Amino acid sequence: MTRKNAVPASGIRRRALLQGTGAAALTAAVAALRPSETPLAAQEGTTQVYLPLIHAGGTGTSSAPVEVVALNRMAYGPRSGDIARVREMGFPAYVEEQLNPTGDDPVADQRIADARLKLKIDDVTYERPLSSLTMSAAELWALKELSYGESTHPANEVRAATWIRAVYSRWQLREVLVEFWHNHFNVNANAYREVAMTFPLYDRIMRRHCLGNFRAFLKAVAQSVAMLYYLNNLVSRDGPANENYARELFELHGLGAEHYINDLYDNFNDVPRDDQDRPVGYIDWDVYEAARAFTGWTIANGRSIGNGADLPDTGEFTYVDSWHDNALKIVLGEFFSPNQPPLADGRRVLDLVAAHPGTARHVCYKLCRRLVADNPPEALVNAAVQTWLANLDADNQIQQTVQTILLSDAFRTTWGRKVKRPFEVAVAFLRATNADFTYGNLGWSFNSTGYQHFSWPTPTGHPDTMEYWLSTGTLLGTWRFIQTLPESWLEAAAIDLEGEMPAEVRTSRQMVNFWIARLLGRSMAANSYTLLLDHMRAAIDADDPPLSPDEPPDGFGDEAEWRQNAYRDRLKSLVFLICLSPDFMLR
């Protein structure tokens, strides 16, 4: 199976690689060069030279060229040719391009159109296209007449499409931000049939608003089937209201737990105010009152609403006036007069949360943490907050805020203060190896890494700091998953390592150089480099002395097939080692 033609042809170019001097001499030669001054690849069509490939000191001690930083943070890692392209167009132009995605995404679209996902109905396995992705809300809602497995299948289709887009979309920043917002507004698609069934709608909300206005985003989420079911507002009505959504609106979507000051104040009158007379944080009273404001916000799902009346069964957002608590409310220090028009109370809560400086700080901190470092510099967060607050009513509020973050000095100077999460490791591996990726039977096998795509069990979304992802189970799960990805039974990815290497790449050293450049795009510690080179040049028979690094590796082009296979195994092992190494895991 090969569909490489669908991939931009930039991946297949002829390259002459740096011929070896001694590793020590090379270390000395490159130590003097700052990475940003070092040409990683010369102009297209001419000889390309990779420098530096090694550096003195440990893995964590070097920085990375801005192209590598950008492609590991604004994208799911470089594809072949990406680093040269960003260098050529310039980093600011790349940011500008990525901040303005369009519908023009032919490679990803074709891959999604060609994808087939297995679905078992009554012991018969069907291979079906990802048809729910383009279904209307009414069409998706109608799926509830089908079996549980079939009706919840749309969530699996979104998972598959998300993988394919991450690997192939030219609008990488959009994919990174869609993942961010899915986690920010996390719902567990496995929690309710209706959530899984309408998950394509929820994904569309993330895509539509990922660079837009936060207030509009909040409203779309608040009125979505997914969120109304997941956090139970669907069934919230007067006496007593269900607090689940209101609680997370404050704690996770908006102001954040850092602005929950219930341990300090138990009366809203006591909460200090800022210079614009807004309370500096929220307490339980705000949650209770906001929950009352959202009573009656629900989904038309055919449920009885009393007095013999039923809601229509359309799956659309609706408001049930008889469920609404109409009495006076006090939210974030503001009085809501009784008997407001339909939806007015809830909308006002969204207005207050969206405009609150605490929300600006909470969301901007999270954006900086995602795009820059686990502990982002305070000055960067402040700059992002400033942009956010200055654009509260702008249609492109989030785009402008992200631009502030990406063009900051901090973005360029914080390499390695974050590790890739398992999804990023896996997609980066697929992109860098130019895998022919079709998703196949990938499904739940990915959960063993600890990354639970669209089924993270709590509304917090996946953790975004390394403490979590450096646990033994997660690290090992990720390593094992990378090793599993090319296996044929998974039918997910075909990788042709030899086919990726130009004909001139013949010696052990050239191969190591080629794959370090391709997979990392930056230098490796000298000791690490030597370990890889020694592995590649080792003789097939372990008792024989190693070959010269400037000879073809043992078994390369050999007539005996078993010797060729041994060489291929060593090449595969080389690529695994680089992708499992700490160098590849940094971000």
Partner 1 sequence: MKLTRREFMVGCSAAIAAMAGGRIGNLVFAQDSAAAAQRDILVVVFLRGGCDSLNLIAPTSDVNYVAARSSLRVTETEGLDLKNPVQATAGFKFHPAAGGLKELYDGNALAIIHACGLTNGTRSHFDAMDYIERGTPDNKNTPTGWITRMLTRMAPEGLIPAFASGSSVPDSLLNSTYAIAVGQNVQDFALRNSPSRYAERQTQILKQLYQQGDLPLHQSGLATLEAIETVQNKLPRDSEGKVIDYEPEPDAEYTEGGLSDALRRIAQIIKLDIGLQVATVDFGGWDTHDSQDRVFPDRVEELSRSLNAFYDDLAAHHGRLTVVVMSEFGRRLKENRNGGTDHGHGGLLMVLGGNVQGGRMHGTWPGLANEQLDRGVDLTVATDFRTVLSEIAIRRMATPYLSEIFPGFNNYQPLEVVTGTDLPIE
Q: Which residues bind partner 1 (CB under 8 A)?
A: 58-61, 232, 235, 237, 239-240, 242-244, 247, 251, 257, 260, 262-263, 284, 416, 419, 447-450, 457-458, 460, 466-468, 470-477, 479-480, 483-484, 487, 525, 527-528, 531-532, 535, 566, 569-570, 572-573, 576-577, 580-583, 585-586
CA dihedral over 316, 320, 325, 330, signed as positive or negative: positive
Least spacing, CB of residue 260 vs partner 1, in Å:
7
Name the residue nearer to partner 1 (CB basis): 312 or 473: 473
In DSSP notation, 74-109 reads: TSSSPPTTHHHHHHHH-HHHHHHHHTS--S--HHHH
Which residue's entry shows tokens 């602005």? 259
User: Burial letters for 472-496: b for 16+ Cβ neighbours within 10 Å, e otherwise?
Assistant: eebbebbbebbebbbeeebebbbbe
Least spacing, CB of residue 130 vs partner 1, in Å:
28
Least spacing, CB of residue 61 vs partner 1, in Å:
7
Q: Are 159 and 85 in contact (CB under 8 A)?
A: no
Name the residue nearer to partner 1 (CB basis): 247 or 518: 247
CA dihedral over 120, 122, 126, 131, signed as positive or negative: negative
Name the residue nearer to partner 1 (CB basis): 148 or 468: 468
Least spacing, CB of residue 190 vs partner 1, in Å:
11
Q: Are 411 and 383 in contact (CB under 8 A)?
A: no
Q: How many CB atoms lie within 10 A of CB 300?
A: 17
223 vs 216, 234, 299, CA distance in Å?
Answer: 11, 10, 8
Least spacing, CB of residue 323 vs partner 1, in Å:
10
Least spacing, CB of residue 235 vs partner 1, in Å:
4
Name the residue nearer to partner 1 (CB basis): 44 or 487: 487
Least spacing, CB of residue 551 vs partner 1, in Å:
19
- Looking at residue 323, what DSSP letter applies? G
Determine the Cα–Cα distance for residues 468 and 471; give it in Å rounded to an integer.
6
Least spacing, CB of residue 171 vs partner 1, in Å:
29
What is the C-alpha R_g of the chain?
A: 27
Least spacing, CB of residue 582 vs partner 1, in Å:
5
Determine the Cα–Cα distance for residues 345 and 336; give it in Å rounded to an integer.
7
Tokens representing 9?
A: 């042809």
Least spacing, CB of residue 460 vs partner 1, in Å:
6
Phi-psi region of 332 (alpha: psi -120 to 50; beta: other; left: phi over 0): left
199 vs 88, 226, 251, 375, CA distance in Å?
Answer: 39, 7, 23, 32
- Looking at residue 301, what DSSP letter applies? E
Over 526-580, what HEC string results? Answer: HHHHHHHHHHHHCCCCCCCCCCCCCCCCCCCCCCCHHHHHHHHHHHHHHHHHHHH
Which residue's entry shows tokens 């132009």? 93
Q: Which residues pair with 586 in a beta bridge?
A: 419
489 vs 439, 462, 486, CA distance in Å?
Answer: 12, 29, 9
| Segment holding 506, helix H or strand E | none
Side-chain-side CA neighbours of 34 within 13 Å: the count stands at 4
In DSSP notation, 395-453 reads: TTHHHHHHHHHHTSHHHHS-TTSSB--HHHHHHHHHHHTT-EE--TT-GGGGGGGT--T
Least spacing, CB of residue 414 vs partner 1, in Å:
13
Least spacing, CB of residue 158 vs partner 1, in Å:
22
Least spacing, CB of residue 279 vs partner 1, in Å:
18
Name the residue nearer to partner 1 (CB basis): 111 or 247: 247
Least spacing, CB of residue 576 vs partner 1, in Å:
7
Q: Are 16 and 504 in contact (CB under 8 A)?
A: yes
Burial class (CB within 10 angstroms; exposed 0-12, middle 13-18, buried 19+) of 134: exposed
Name the residue nearer to partner 1 (CB basis): 122 or 263: 263
Least spacing, CB of residue 177 vs partner 1, in Å:
24
Nearest Cα neighbor of 497 from 582, 564, 581 is: 564
Q: Are 266 and 355 in contact (CB under 8 A)?
A: no
